Structure 1
Amino acid sequence: MSKMEQPTDTIHKIFDVQDDAVLHAEDIAKLVNMHTESVRRWCRTGKLPSYNFAGKYIVVGSDFKEFMRKAKIKRRWEQMLNE
């Protein structure tokens, strides 16, 4: 499949984690190359579905992958098709 034919709802293989994986904010921060506090903010605001145990955020792999799918920027013509 060429780049143009790839489905737009797929995520890059570096974000491919097991659906039942348990990820901490630090793990996600490393995957997306961002500060841990940014990931915690996503969790606090509900952008990234998570569980909070004693101040530690836990994210299930399937929720992380869905978050990444929603965050993927689509080409302008694809956005126009969905409007």
Structure 2
Amino acid sequence: MPFDYLLEKELGLAPKLEPKFANIDDDEMLTPNEVAVLIGLSSISVRRMCREGKIDSYQYNRKYAISGRSLKEFVFRSVKRTKSVREALSS
């Protein structure tokens, strides 16, 4: 079930991003290789996630670029929530 992310933030239940993500500028453009190092996956996996739309990205001449904002949104969506938080925020 989808979360109400605004409610989660208002209630103070929103997860905090690790400093390595929080320090990335929203407008900074990252390569799949840079993202792979940050999230601990292979660059092939990051490219596949871009292709499948799991990470919002831009594609120029078969090369992907991921904005800092898109990376942070992906990480935020990927944070595991406790059962009580999931139940409270599910719609």
What CA deviation, in whole Å up to 9, does each residue of 1:47-70 have, x standing for no partner?
101011111100111111111100
SS in 1 for 2:30: strand
Question: How big is the shift at 1:8?
Answer: 2.5
The amino acid across from 1:15 in the alignment is: F
Question: How big is the shift at 1:29?
Answer: 0.1
Cα RMSD, aligned residues only: 1.3
How far, CA to CA, are the matches of 1:27 and 1:57 in structure 2?
11
Q: Does residue 67 of structure 2 align to residue 60 of structure 1?
A: yes
Q: Match of 1:33?
A: 40
How far, CA to CA, are the matches of 1:24 and 1:82 in structure 2?
33
Quick check: 2:13–2:85 contact (8 Å CA) kept in 1? no
TM-score (norm 2): 0.79
Identity of aligned residues (%): 28
- In the alignment of these two chains, the number of paired residues is 78
